[in-house]
Each structure stands twice: as C-alpha cells, then as structure tokens.
A and B are shown apart, each in its own frame.
Chain A
Amino acid sequence: MSRPAAASAALLLVAALAAPPAAHAAADAAPPRECGTARLADPERGRDGSIPGLRPHADGRFTPVLLVHGWNGSPETWSQPITYSTLPNKPSVNHSLLGNLQGLAGAAVYTLDYHDVAHRWFALPGAGGELFVEAENCLAGQEAFQGHKTIVIAHSMGGLVTRWAVSDAAPDGAQRRGRIGLVVTLGTPYEGSWLAELGTSLLDTATDIGALRDKRVAALLEVIHLLLVQCEGVDLPGCRELTKLADQLATVRAFVPGSPELAALSGWPAGMRVHTLTSRTVLEDAAGGLFALRSPGELDLGDVVVGTDSATAGDFPERIGECRLTMSLLRNWVNDRLVDTGRLAKIDAPSHMFLGLFADCFHVNEARIIQLTNEALGIVADELAAQGPLYAYRAVGELGIVRMDRVAHRVRGTFVDAQFTDDGRYLAAVERAGRPNARVVTISVADGHRADLPCGGCTSVAPAGQDRVAWLDRAGKLVQANAAGGPGSAPVALRLPKTAEFTEHQRQGITASTVRIHAGVHGRFLVSRQYHEATDTTETFLVDADGSAEALDDNGFVGATAVTPGGTKLAYARGYQYEAASADIDVAVVDPDKATRTVVDSQQLAAGIYHAGYGPAGEVVAVHDLWWGYDGKLYATIGSQSFLPWTQDMETVIPKSLWRLDGQRWVSVDAGPLLAVRQLTRSTKAVVTADGTLYTETDGRGVKVATKVEAILVPPRAGDPQAAPSGKKLTRPKEPCLSKADFNRTASRLGSGIFEGSKVTVTADRAGVTCQGGWAGAWTTIAYGSTGVGRESYVILRYGNGRWSWGVDTYWQQLGEPTEMCQQIPPKLKPTVHCP
C-alpha cells in the first residue's frame, strides 16, 4: 500500500472511530479529518496494539487540540516517543505526547503542518502565521467543536506563530483570541534565540564576535566550538544534533534578540491563558575556567537554542525541566565512584558534559522530555476535565470534588452526610458528627475554598435553597447558614405535630427522641423523629423554615434519600435497620409542595426484583443507595441476602446492583456488583465498585478516581432524558437441582449428620425431586442404620453458598410450624410437603 493510500485508510479508520454513537447522533458531529493545514492526527496504537477511539465531551462535541511545530520543524515533533528525562533514569514509554493527548476524553488532536515554509520567518506572506490562521479559522467553524475553545500546544517558533495569530497584526486576531482557551508553549524564543549570536560567531564568514558580554552565550560558544572540533569525522548521536544545529546557524538572523522582526511582535494579549514550559541545562564546574582559576558558580545554558529567560518570558505559569552536567572529567570520575559505593544517588550525580548539551534537555527534544510532556498533559487534561461533568464523593478520611476523572479539590477528615447546595456551588458535609465541636464543612466547587461552620453538635446537613445549608443543633433546633461562611441564623424550634405515635409513647413514658434532618427540597426539610427505647418506631415530617411541620410517615426509619435534579420531588428508603448505611425495605416518593407520599412497599419492591412470587426464608432486601437521575428516573442500589438457619450463614441472593423504578416495579439496570452509580451525562457515569473504588467511566472505559468511597453525589442541574445508565442486566441464574439419584446420595450423606449421628439412607419416592429457587424437595423414606426400619418424611434440601445443605423434614422444622413453613418455601414444593 502506498503511503498516501495507507494514510487514507488510517483516516477512514479515524473517521469510523470518530463516528458518534447512535444515541448521540442528533447532537454530535465528527471532527473533520482536515481543516486548512491542520490534520486530525492518526491515532497512536495502544500498548496492546489497539487503536483508541475519539471520546467526546458530555455534549457529544470535542475540544480541538492544535499542535504547532517550530522553526524548520514538522508534525513529527509530536509523534516521537517520550524517551528523554531530566534524570538519569530514562523513561520506557512507547507513546508520544500526541498519543497521550489522544487518550484524553474530549480531545480531538490536530497537527498544523507548515514544514514547507518552516524555515521562513512566520509573519511573512505565505508562511507559518497565515497557515495557522487558516487552520484555526476552519476549526472555529466546525459544528463538532461548538462551545469548546481550542487548546494550542506549540514548540519553539510555534509559540510565536500562535501569539502573532491572536495579535492585532493578524487577520481577525481579536476574534481569534476569544476562541483559543489555552496555550502551552515549549521552548518558545519570546525574547530571541541564542542561535543567532552563535551563528554570528561560529560561521566561517564570522570575523569578529564583537563585545559579547553575555557570559552564558560566551560559555556556549566555547563549548560548541570544542564539540565541533571533537565531532569532526565522528558519527555520534549528539554530533548529529550538533551538525544539524550548525547547519541552521546561517538562517536565524530574525531570532537575534532585539531584531526588527522580534521587535515588531506584540506580547500576549491581556486575558490569554498561557503556560510556558522549557528545558535547560545547568553546567556545574562551568565552562571556561581560566588556568588556575575555576569558573565561579553554575551556568544556565537554557536549552542551548533558547535561554530560559526568553522561553519563560511574561507573567505566566512556567515549568522548567532541568538537566545538570559537569565539565570536569575528574568530578565525573569521583561521582561515579560515589555512586558505585552507594554514597551518592545516581539521580544526584550530574552527567558529564560531552555532548550532553544535545541530549535530554536540548531544544529539539522538548516534546519528548517526560517531565515536560507530563506537565503539558496535566495542563490539557485539567482544561478538558473542567469542561467535563462535575460530581463529588465521600470516602473514608476525605471528601473530593471531581471534574470528569480528576479530583479538583480534596479535603481530609472524617465526614458524614455530604450534600450539594441547591445551586451546586458548594459541597457540604458534617465533621465530628454529634460531638460538641461538630461542624458543617463546605467546599467551594469553584476554587476549593473550605469554610467551617460550627453546628452545635449536629449530625447531618441539608441544602436550604441556593447557597444555603441547614442543620439541627443538639437541641433539635433548625439553623440555616450561608455555605460560604459566616454566622448561622437564630435557631428555630421545630413544631412537630403530636401524632398518635407521640401520644402513645408519652403514655408509655418514652419521652426522649432524636430528631434528624435528612434532605431539603423547595425550602422544606425531611425530618425524622426516632423514639429512644423504641428504635423501630420513627416518624417522618416535612418541616418549613419557620419550624412548622406536617406528618408524612410513621413506619420505619429513614435510610437513603434522593431529590430530583429540579428539586420537585424527593424519595427516601424506609424500614428497619439492617446493616450500616442500608435500609430495609420500602421506598417513599414525596411531593414536598403537596406533602403527598407514594410508597413502593416491600412486597412490590421484592416482587419487582428477580424472585417474583416467592422468597427464601429470611431474605432481606436492602436499599443501599437512592438517587434521581438526570433522566428523571429513580434509581437504587439494591441487594438482598438470605439467612440459612441450618448453617447460620447469610447467603447473597441478589448482589448489590443497580435498579430503576418503572412505575411500581424495579427493573434491573446493571448487575454489578457495585455500591453506587451516578449517570453524569449521556456517555459518562461515576461508579463505585463493590470494593469501594470510584471510577469515572466513559463509554465503558473507566479511570480510577479514589478508593474507600462510601457515597457519591451530583449537583442539581437541568435534566437530560438521554442521560440514562445502562449495563449488563441481572439475569436469574440457572437454578440448581438434583437428579433423583443425586438427591438420594446427597440427602443420605447430609442426613447421617442430622439424626443424632445415625447413618440414614434417604430414598425419594416415585414422584421424584421437585426443584425451585434453590430448593430441592421430595417425599422420601428415611431408613435408619442397618435395621431396615424406615419412616416416611418429606425432605427439602437448600442450595446456598455453593453447596447443598439439609433444609427441613417432617421432624426437623427450622422454619417453624408447618403453616409458617408453607409461607416461606417456593410454591412448586408446597405439594411435596403437603401444604394446603
């Protein structure tokens, strides 16, 4: 295949990969393969040979990331593997900076190719500047990028090209600067390059260096002269770089600091977000001692081509990758001995200078130095993530706010009950819950600022409209405060109705109770009252800001709660406490404006799940997490366990899995096992796996975010009917059963441990074995020992935790009286045991 043909095939593949999923088709558009002189980069293969696909932002669109090479360069600048490091330990990386950028969700990576004219001053007609403008204009007009500003990463002169393109000197420069959201430059000669001065001195035509007062340039002159001498007739990698550099010296007049070309350029316009990155070599035992005199101090030789000051000019965030070299053979020899004897770390031993100037920290390698590429990747990833969905998590020992798959803000501490404020600007949680010094801690989503609000022994917090939060102090009084900080409102006493439950408990002398706030919606609060010494009785109320309240419920304590994204409805799980952080078993849906309530009761909940029509003895269905999706549906993490009385084991019947409430029926969405899910966008969700690890997952590809996570939360925002979670649904497993022969053999073996140690022989009658739901039953004859004496009895075996165990028989009825047992076993077995 010819190269153009191969390239076309690759582009078609890219286009195919970039094709949006059908569900997004209405809103999505694929990034174009070419845009002016910018070209969508061919995808770099993964370590396993796979070709990654383009992953859009939540809105189905992309951020164009434009890579701009430098003087005399080409797009290959970006596709070389990252093999350089400022440290002696070299990276073993197959990927390039380009390939790593392609792995970022939301990025569509383009390379600008102006290599044909890259030897010319970019501001000349037909040179790099014009081609950049053409490419950027094209990108800005694409549907696929609407709403997302271009990110530019530029090497060397590419940074000057970009700066020129957003200046008033360029066509539509003022408009363009508003379309470029971020610029990262690598080794850009903002204040000129040393190349020009080196050329002035080292070219064969040079007759006089003039009064060269910059000691760094003087040192470079000495070193490069000596290396040129050393490299004569020698073919070493560094010598090749040196020769290339020497070949370029004649044509870099425009880069002389203070040249008319540089002087004609204006600085970065105000408001542009720029990061300046560069590498530099620091020479210890610097060049040019003078006989008996040693050269004082160290010399910063920049990246040989551009001085550090020039590459980091301007008041912008900067990052410098630094290599250290020594000129001294003696020093080098001593260092090697110290390293060999373990008295000096290898990374602290500077390399010897010989040709080191043209290796790791050399100008042309700046897109391949792992410290700089990591920095560039991090900057771009942060920028892309900031355009991604937001959510928060509460883990053991910390709270975190996440943008896409990166923790934007993290606060350490032991927290309970995290909630977003109604405007989504703050995350609030309670630290030291219930203690006298308890406090509500809020974190600003925008900047991570933490505010501590003493809350008088509160145990929970709830949003109270806009940026306000509410809690109940130790006395059960309602306090509201601004999440940004400041004093709380005057405590308001709750006026909870004297319900029948209240009166009854008063009559029994139970007067102490704990009042707890659970959720806030439309300025009202879900509050529960649990009577001491009667922990199974809890009343639920809707409370207004002035303390007035309406009774909602008096059946079971309040577990997980959820509020619709628009704040129109809330739901809560209620029931008996089953285990920490879970509730059994009903779910109530409340319209807070009308104080009306719909209950999806336990039978309906159980019936909707999996084992419709029957339930194993002792099964407990627990709602571990409850949330209202942006698609308007109520979701829950539900699991169930069954108690096996004959083995005293708990058996998992339904793993913790994701369910959606459709009317009155729960429908499996994702079999899990998982602890929590939040669908963030159409393609992205946050998932906490069974071991508490949090991932942000986009189109099935997960990025680990945190561990030991107990809860995840999303801020209120506009709904999206297509932001619906999906997964592999829970399927009913194949029911275990036993053939008649296996039943007889298994029952005889198990029965010999049941009947006071007597060896028994169990034989099923002609009707054979009936199985359902992990139960296997038969009418049998049980013969004792060798006596041949036998009795008729039904025998039911139970399958659990991977093995059969003795269930019940006529004489050993762990399930209670026959009528009680008959309510608990599967219906198909009821005739076997002669149930009515």
Chain B
Amino acid sequence: MPQLRRHVLVAIIGAVLAAALGVGVWLLWPATAAPPAPTNAVVVRKPADPGEQARIAAVAELAERLPAAVARGDTSVWSAATRERFADLSATLPTGSTVTVDRATWRRTGAVASVEVTVAGGDQAPRRYTLVVVHEDGTWRVSGTFRLEQP
C-alpha cells in the first residue's frame, strides 16, 4: 500500500512538472507568429505573408494620392529613375481621376513590388494597370506601370 501511494505521488509530481513546463513554454512562445527572417534569396511575397499588409497599406495610400500629387506637381511619389526618364510628369493622370488598388494582387520581391490598380475618371473608361513600386530612400515610390491590355 505505501508503495502504491509512492507511485501516485510520483505521477502527480510528474504531471505537475509537465504542466509547469507546458505553461512555461506557452508563456515564452510569441502570442502571434512573427515574420520569418528574410532569406538571402529571391522570394515572391504575397498579401498573406507576414508583414505584407502594412506594406500594402502604405502603397495603397501612395496610389490613392497619386492624382492629387500629380495635380500639385509633387514628384516625390516617383522613383529617381522615373523622374529621370520622363521629362514632364504633369500629364501622367487626368484631372479628377481616382486610383483604386486591388490588394489581393500584391506581390513583392525585396525592395520591388507590384499591385494591380484601376484608374477611373477623366474622359476615359476605367483602365487597369500593374503598378510597380520600389522602396527607395525609406519610402515606397512609383517606378512604372504596365497597362493590362486586351488586343
């Protein structure tokens, strides 16, 4: 009988220790999954990847304020190479146009990303583009667009 009690005691102590260990691990484990460390390779990141939503939000904000920036003559929204390539950026977007971002199409490789946008307004029917942005000098800037054409 005393031997049985000793076995029960050992089992209880073991269970308590296991529970304590589990609690400790639970307490030490991050509450939410942190972004994995970037790899030294080319990886195409998508909206569901950790950390991308914040980037998408920043680029969406940039895209949506493009018409106003164009109207103001604010060229800081364009990358340095784009500013060099296009002598006159005032006719980029028609006055009164709007830019809507399709966030599900976001793709990023390092400091270069793209997302599909729709430009509406002006005298023309809505047009869809792939907007390419680069992270340059600490902020996202527009590098170029590719029109999604239908022949």
Q: Do A and B come from one complex?
A: yes
Across the interface, which residues of B come within 8 angstroms of A208, CB to CB?
Answer: 111, 135-138
A250 to chain B: closest residue by CB: B40
Q: Is B101 an interface residue (CB 8 A)?
A: no
Across the interface, which residues of A come within 8 angstroms of B3, CB to CB?
Answer: none
Closest approach, in angstroms, between the C-beta of A227 and any C-beta of chain B? 10
Contact in complex: A228, B135 (CB < 8 Å): no
Q: How far is the CA of A215 from the CA of B78 in the complex (A)?
A: 13
Q: How far is the CA of A218 from the CA of B91 in the complex (A)?
A: 21
Across the interface, which residues of A come within 8 angstroms of B92, CB to CB?
Answer: 290-293
Closest approach, in angstroms, between the C-beta of B23 and any C-beta of chain A? 35
Known: A206-B111, A293-B92. A213 touches B81 (CB 8 A): yes
Across the interface, which residues of B come within 8 angstroms of A228, CB to CB?
Answer: 42, 44, 109
Contact in complex: A204, B42 (CB < 8 Å): yes
Across the interface, which residues of A come within 8 angstroms of B89, CB to CB?
Answer: 290, 293
Q: Is A209 an interface residue (CB 8 A)?
A: yes
Interface 0/1 of A218-236, CB less than 8 Å to B: 1101100110110010000
Q: Is A239 an interface residue (CB 8 A)?
A: no
Q: Is B38 an interface residue (CB 8 A)?
A: yes
Contact in complex: B119, A205 (CB < 8 Å): no
Residue with the highest number of chain B CB atoms closer than 10 Å, among A203, A204, A212, A246: A204
B131 to chain A: closest residue by CB: A291
Interface-lining segment among A61-69, A269-277, A326-334, A586-594: A326-334
- A-B pair count, CB < 8 Å, reads 150
Interface 0/1 of B73-94, CB less than 8 Å to A: 0000011111011110101111
Q: How far is the CA of A100 from the CA of B147 in the complex (A)?
A: 45
B132 to chain A: closest residue by CB: A222
B85 to chain A: closest residue by CB: A215
Q: How far is the CA of A188 from the CA of B113 in the complex (A)?
A: 30
Q: Select which of A202, A204, A215, A289 is within 8 A of B84 by beta carbon.
A: A215
Known: A212-B79, A222-B132, A290-B86. A201 touches B110 (CB 8 A): yes
Q: Is A817 an interface residue (CB 8 A)?
A: no
Q: How far is the CA of A330 from the CA of B135 in the complex (A)?
A: 30
Q: How large is the interface on A (under 10, 10 to 19, 20 to 34, 35 or more residues)?
A: 35 or more
B93 to chain A: closest residue by CB: A291
Within 8 A of A (CB), among B49-99: 78-82, 84-87, 89, 91-94
Contact in complex: A246, B42 (CB < 8 Å): yes
Contact in complex: B41, A289 (CB < 8 Å): no
B43 to chain A: closest residue by CB: A204
Contact in complex: A215, B81 (CB < 8 Å): yes
Q: Is B24 an interface residue (CB 8 A)?
A: no
Known: A201-B111, A208-B111. A221 touches B151 (CB 8 A): no
Known: A247-B41, A250-B41. A293 touches B91 (CB 8 A): yes
Q: How far is the CA of A329 from the CA of B76 in the complex (A)?
A: 30
Q: Select which of B40, B45, B82 is within 8 A of A290 by beta carbon.
A: B82
Contact in complex: B144, A295 (CB < 8 Å): yes
Interface 0/1 of B9-50, CB less than 8 Å to A: 000000000000000000000000000001111111100000
Q: How far is the CA of A249 from the CA of B39 in the complex (A)?
A: 12
Q: How far is the CA of A559 from the CA of B138 in the complex (A)?
A: 90
Q: Select which of A219, A246, A330 is within 8 A of B41 by beta carbon.
A: A246
Contact in complex: A204, B110 (CB < 8 Å): yes
Contact in complex: A225, B114 (CB < 8 Å): yes
Interface 0/1 of A228-267, CB less than 8 Å to B: 1100100000000000001101100000000000000000
Across the interface, which residues of B come within 8 angstroms of A207, CB to CB?
Answer: 110-111, 135
Q: Is A5 an interface residue (CB 8 A)?
A: no
Contact in complex: A290, B145 (CB < 8 Å): yes
Q: How far is the CA of A357 from the CA of B87 in the complex (A)?
A: 27
Q: Is the interface of B mostly helix, strand, loop or mixed?
A: mixed
Within 8 A of B (CB), among A171-219: 201-215, 217-219
Q: How far is the CA of A210 from the CA of B114 in the complex (A)?
A: 18
Across the interface, which residues of B come within 8 angstroms of A91, CB to CB?
Answer: none
Contact in complex: A211, B136 (CB < 8 Å): yes
Known: A203-B42, A211-B80. A288 touches B129 (CB 8 A): no
Q: How far is the CA of A814 from the CA of B87 in the complex (A)?
A: 100
Closest approach, in angstroms, between the C-beta of A70 and any C-beta of chain B? 21
Q: Is A287 an interface residue (CB 8 A)?
A: yes
Q: How far is the CA of A404 from the CA of B60 in the complex (A)?
A: 69
Within 8 A of A (CB), among B99-147: 107, 109-114, 119, 129-130, 132, 134-138, 142-147
Q: Select which of A221, A293, A328, A329 is within 8 A of B134 by beta carbon.
A: A221
Q: Is A296 an interface residue (CB 8 A)?
A: yes
Q: How far is the CA of A309 from the CA of B142 in the complex (A)?
A: 27
Q: How far is the CA of A83 from the CA of B11 in the complex (A)?
A: 75
Known: A289-B144, A292-B93, A329-B151. A222 touches B112 (CB 8 A): yes
Contact in complex: A201, B134 (CB < 8 Å): yes
Q: How far is the CA of A242 from the CA of B121 in the complex (A)?
A: 38
Contact in complex: B144, A202 (CB < 8 Å): no
Contact in complex: B42, A213 (CB < 8 Å): no
Contact in complex: B136, A214 (CB < 8 Å): no
Closest approach, in angstroms, between the C-beta of B2 and any C-beta of chain A? 63
Contact in complex: A229, B42 (CB < 8 Å): no
Across the interface, which residues of B come within 8 angstroms of A332, CB to CB?
Answer: 151
Across the interface, which residues of B come within 8 angstroms of A221, CB to CB?
Answer: 112, 134, 143
Q: How far is the CA of A250 from the CA of B92 in the complex (A)?
A: 36
Contact in complex: A218, B79 (CB < 8 Å): yes
Closest approach, in angstroms, between the C-beta of B76 and any C-beta of chain A? 12
Contact in complex: A209, B82 (CB < 8 Å): no
Contact in complex: B38, A204 (CB < 8 Å): yes
Q: How far is the CA of A329 from the CA of B147 in the complex (A)?
A: 9
Closest approach, in angstroms, between the C-beta of B118 and any C-beta of chain A? 11
Q: How far is the CA of A213 from the CA of B149 in the complex (A)?
A: 28
Contact in complex: B137, A225 (CB < 8 Å): no
Closest approach, in angstroms, between the C-beta of A217 and any C-beta of chain B? 8
Across the interface, which residues of B come within 8 angstroms of A292, CB to CB?
Answer: 91-94
Q: How far is the CA of A207 from the CA of B109 in the complex (A)?
A: 10
Q: How far is the CA of A292 from the CA of B45 in the complex (A)?
A: 28
Known: A209-B111, A218-B79. A295 touches B85 (CB 8 A): yes
Contact in complex: A222, B144 (CB < 8 Å): yes
Closest approach, in angstroms, between the C-beta of B147 and any C-beta of chain A? 7
Q: How far is the CA of A291 from the CA of B143 in the complex (A)?
A: 11
Q: Select which of B41, B135, B144 is within 8 A of A209 by beta carbon.
A: B135
Across the interface, which residues of A come within 8 angstroms of B82, CB to CB?
Answer: 218, 288, 290
Closest approach, in angstroms, between the C-beta of A332 and any C-beta of chain B? 8
B90 to chain A: closest residue by CB: A293
Can you give 14 contacting A-B residue pairs, CB < 8 Å? A204-B38, A209-B134, A210-B136, A218-B134, A222-B112, A225-B109, A250-B41, A287-B146, A288-B144, A289-B145, A290-B144, A291-B129, A291-B145, A293-B91
B interface list, Cβ under 8 A from A? 38-45, 78-82, 84-87, 89, 91-94, 107, 109-114, 119, 129-130, 132, 134-138, 142-147, 149, 151
6 smallest A-B Cβ distances: which pairs? A288-B144, A206-B110, A218-B81, A246-B42, A333-B151, A204-B38
Given A204-B109, A214-B81, A218-B134, 19 other A-B residues pairs in contact with their CB atoms under 8 A: A201-B110, A202-B110, A203-B38, A208-B137, A208-B138, A209-B135, A211-B137, A218-B82, A219-B144, A225-B112, A246-B41, A287-B146, A288-B82, A288-B85, A288-B132, A288-B145, A289-B144, A289-B146, A333-B151
A interface list, Cβ under 8 A from B? 201-215, 217-219, 221-222, 225-226, 228-229, 232, 246-247, 249-250, 287-293, 295-296, 327-330, 332-333
